[in-house]
Structure 1
Amino acid sequence: MKAAINQLPVFYRYLFSYMALFLLPLLVLGVTGYHQLVHIVGDDVERNNQALLQDLQDGMDQKMILLNRIAGQLESVSELSPYVLTHDYYNVYQGKKVLESKVVDESVREVALHIRGTDFLLSSTSIYKVNSFIDEFYQYKQWTSAQFNDDLNRLTTPQLRPAEDVSISGLPNQRLVTYIVPIPINSLHPYGTVLFILKENELLKSLPVAGGNAIVFDREGRVLAAQTPTDYLHDPGFFGKIVNGKAKYQDVTIQHITYAASYKKSDKSGFTYVTMLPKSTLVAPINRAIWQWGSWMAAIFLAGCVLVYVLMIFNYNPVKRLAALVETIRGQSLRRANVFEMIGNVIHDMADSNRSLGLKLEANRSAVMEHLLASILKGEFTSVEALNEQGKEIGFLLPYSETAVLMLEFPASFVPMKGRLHEEVDAWFGGQIVGYRKESLEERRMLFIISSACSPEAWREWLNQMHEHLTAVFQAPITMGVGNRYAEVVQAGRSYLEASTAIDYKLIKGNQRVIFFDELLVYDHADLLSPRRVLEDLEIVLQHGNAGRVAETVHQIGMRMKQSGLTLFVARELCYDMIRKFIAYADKRNSGGATTSFPDVLTLTEYMTLDEIVDLLTTACATYCDLLESKKPANPSALIQQITQYISRHCGEYDFSVQRIAEHFSLSLSYLSRYFKEQTGRTIMDYMNEVRIDHAKRLLKAEDYSVKDIVQQIGYSDVSSFIRKFKQTVGVTPGEYRKQHR
């Protein structure tokens, strides 16, 4: 059983469990409600039955009281006195009218008065001879003439004869109840007898016992009257079966029909009153209520099941989509019974893969970080946003608006402790000052690129406090050179030159302190040669694009630099700005690998004389002029063909990137992107994605690799992004593509 349940799909297992949870309280509610309903309706039926019995008793007792009262009233009527009735025939006629008035309802067929000692009966309808009355007009089957005469003349107490069949002259047989009352009532020597002839079918006519019966028993247990005369009334043991001293409400089976029988004995008359109602009639309201209750319970259950099903579909959809994604990644269908287990396995595999990728990324993080820091000093990033976009994957971020360079110099004996010094400096970064270490070309120096948002005063205070801390910790002369802070990240190279120049002033300022570049008089004697004017002149000739004119202008600038007596820093700064101009115009003119041909700011700091700096500037100018005069290849597509072939061969490698393409062909990122777009009409990233997607399509058609393995082979790092890109490009998921082409 358990194994069969485990084979069910997860959706149906959860659906059935929720339905079972819903059904359990519904069953409890249904059973308790059913019992309460049966109890309530049963009590109501019993109350109605008791009320019916009470009505039967009240009606019959009131009838007997009424008849006794009528008999008593006849005593006082002068027209009906023995003397008057025996001496004046006219008064006999008047007495007849009086008796006629005593027929009070349909149940009284006739009222007759007999004066003892006479041989006639005066009734409400006629005057009878006694013998003629019993022999001719009312022929009782069990009441003989002798008994009749004896009862009329000898009874001293009222007597009620049970209902019996009577043949009436000229009419069909009827069942009549006869009530004989001697008058005066309760007299030991009555002078007359009143005879009430009652119709049995009218006595109990008003009782609502459809399909059942209402019965009146006398003190001896004889049936006095019944609403419906039937055969079972003649059973001598019938009274004992109904009135047995047990519950006054019981089930009795008679002639294969079950009745709910109730009885009640009157204290006034001594009669026993019985109602018999068919059990089917009594329980009909209960059955109807139960049916309605069950119908409502079933409707609620069905509605609840529908609601549970709808909610299950709604809540299961994310799991279904996740399962579909897992199927796509694995390249095979999941067993629906173990969908969560399969998803868990895939997530576990992805977690292992991510950990592996994380380890690889961490191993390359230092190299990537070093490359980014070098690019900052070279001025390759024109905005902080572009820099942060490339650095976010390795956690590199310059969050604030101003960038500066900090350089530390320490004794040669302190070189083995550089790692510890780095840790101490790193501990000071945080809040509004964030910094990253860049490897320096000199062992005795340590370089930091810093992003700051604090005020100039707080900046100086922070640097001085850190210097005091380092000096106290290492007990060694540490010099700190601080370049100016710039709002443009492209000026980070200038701040590097300033920090390097500040360090060079240690012999003047002291070698165990913080030296701020803006405190130095490095611009002395610069008035003979205005750097701003020099850059404007160079800008003009570069715009014309004439190599000879550019060379001549740079030669004149170099001569003026030697004659002007510029400080070493100003000369370096001017050379740095002019080289950046060469790089910018080389990129504009699509000169290929121009940027890597020019010296960077790190190289520039190695030159210690004006002659060396002028020679470096002249070499850079010659490189630029060669680029201007070099002719474009006869086949413009030669380079683009090499680039596309390189992409096709290496795009499946994990560390493949646009930066790697640029470095391989000695091109700047900006030039490579622009050149590729001009030659192909699309971006290099779009082309790389197309090559990878084509490679993935071939593998999906021909191999049985999982999607995860394919992703690794084509150079993607994230499975979900690949699936999204594949569907966006091809129109279907990888799994669907494999099914279509198998």
Structure 2
Amino acid sequence: MGINVRAYKLFYKYLFSYIGILLVPLIILGSFTYVYFIGIIKDDVINNNMNKLDRIRYVIDDQLKQIRMMSDQIYFKNMTPFFFEDDPLGSLKVINDLKNYTLTNNFISDILMFNHKDDYLYSSTSSYKTSLFFDKIYHYEQWNQNTFIHDMNSIITPTVRPMENILLNNRETKRFATLIYPLSSGGAKPTQTVLFLIAEKSFQNLLKDTMKDYGGNTLIMDKNNHIIAALQDDPLLQSPELQNIMKESNNDLSQTVTLDHVKYIFSSVVSSDTGWKYITIVPVNRIMEKVTSLKLIFLYTLAFILLISCAVIYYLMVVNYKPILRLKKLTDSIWKDDNPNRNELTTVQNALEYLTSQNTELYTRLEDYEVAAKEYLLFQLIRGKFPSREALEQKAQTLGLRLTKPWLRVVTVKFGSMPNTAAVSVDAMLDLIEQSLPDDIEGYARDHMDQSNIVLIIASDEMTDTRLAEVLSSIQSSLKEKWELMATVGIGGAYQDISQVPKSYIESMTAIDYRFVKGTGQLIFSHELGTNRPKSSFSSKLATDKLKMHLKQGDFEQIDQILQHVIHFLKHERPSMFEAKMMCFEIINAVVLTIEEMSKQQSGAPMSSPDVFLLFEYETVDELVETVKKLSLDISSHFQKIQTHHKASLIEQMIDYLKANYTDCDFTLQQMAEYFHMSQASLSQYFKEHTGSSVLDFETSLKLEKAKQLLISSHLPIKDLALEVGYYNANSFIRRFKQVIGIPPGEFRKSFQSE
């Protein structure tokens, strides 16, 4: 970066301080997470394991309840034992009932019923002699016919045979748990027994969900601490130490045990209904794998965040430090530090102090300039020197002024006598007037060439005379109260067109002159200045409109004739001085604006706008007549300069317009005349004089040339082709084409195709 040792010290000072600020929350967060959050995750894993065991307990308890209900239902349906040899057909009903029970419960693999004094067993599929059943159908490894009959006669309470191997139909060996339910009523000795065979797979399907996340083993023990089923046939289950722990676990618990030098989480849930125990044995390292992985992920993430944050801090320090170095170099280029041992910040600080003192002096000079610039802007606005509202607002904005409201008007304040400049500052009066305006009115004041006058230009939304009178009366009162000044206020009309501001100024000055009639110290609106002169046949508005039209048409003879009518009116009908000034201003302003508009289009030099201050100084109508005559000469001179260029460029514009619009079916001569601000007759005459052809003939020639090109180069139907060249009606197109070319469009196309 090209920084010296001192700069490096400052750089690394900030760098290490920011890294230290970053480390504080990271260390606190890491410690909190390690001590608290990881512990919560560990407890959550163990609790989740207990919840899964509890769900298994609930499911198996529910299955055992259903099995108990089945045994009761079987008993009540077969309360009277029968012997197969006495009623072979009766066995079919028993078999069918057992089959229905088996089908309604997927947990049960098969159901057997045995009448103690009979030699037959009944299953859900058939009936068998007990010898055949144990030899061929269900061959138990540790249970034969004799022990079966002994157990059936001796077992009087529900009993469970733990999971054991059974050879089915001498084909395959499967493991089953056998639930034995003696059937009796009222404590009598059982005469029948129902056996429910539960496949090991049925238990394992329930147990798998418990350990699928952590491994380990899950088992079920009956109330006599016999293992009914286990998820895995693990040698650990035969450990005497584990068997002692399982026998002693008579309540829900979760504890850490050590078996064969390995730590396990031993979790147990006991059923209050059956006394069965549901136990999981999981290596601690397997359960804590998730906790450890989360801890490692967190630590890696923390380290990654730290590294990235340090890199970002370093990068931002470099980026943010470069401007300081550039600022130091800039400081050295504009101000030489007499102490080279200062660091950058101190050097910049001293340079800023020096520049501040220089700027203070410069600001004082600028304030004087802004006052003069403000007065000049208001002066130019009154003279009508701004071509548009946008130009005014842009210039005003550079000076910190706001004239954005739509309605502009000029107000003139006249004092009965010039105030004593020693006691009253003109600037103080201007400030008072501006500060007295409400927020919804934008206004600025300046002194007048006549030192007893102050001109106020205001911009506002549309406002009633009553509201404006209240505002100006408040200004009168403030001037009276502070300096005992009697002020007469002349109020010009409000206009949205910026070019009418000079007119508003004339109106306000004329209103001031009306104080001789109405009295001093009054508010005088320009519209209060009435006239008793009879209505004249001459209309300044009509003359203005005609001037605009003839200026755009370039008809200088008509322009001169209108100006002669104005001179005749001023000389012979003798209007009031105010009327004459307003008429001259409106006519001159209209001429200037129209010629300016034409000059923009034709790159001509604009004419200067009327000087309202000069108009206001005139005291006789003869002086105004001379002004109108001078205007006539100015217009003549101006037109001589642009006439040739105007004619050449105008006819080119007309031809370009026709070429751009001749294919429009809705094209009319009226549209073209409106576009060029001319009457249809004037446009037609002008076009024919300069081209030798009428507008209609020229348009038709363009259409037909385009049609011939399309007939030769395309396969458009005549109807679509007519639309392409500007004809709604295909018949009109065909008729016109034949009239001018001599043959119909179809034949024209065929002649070229044959060639």
TM-score normalised by length of structure 1: 0.44
TM-score normalised by length of structure 2: 0.43
Q: Which structure: larger Rg?
A: 1
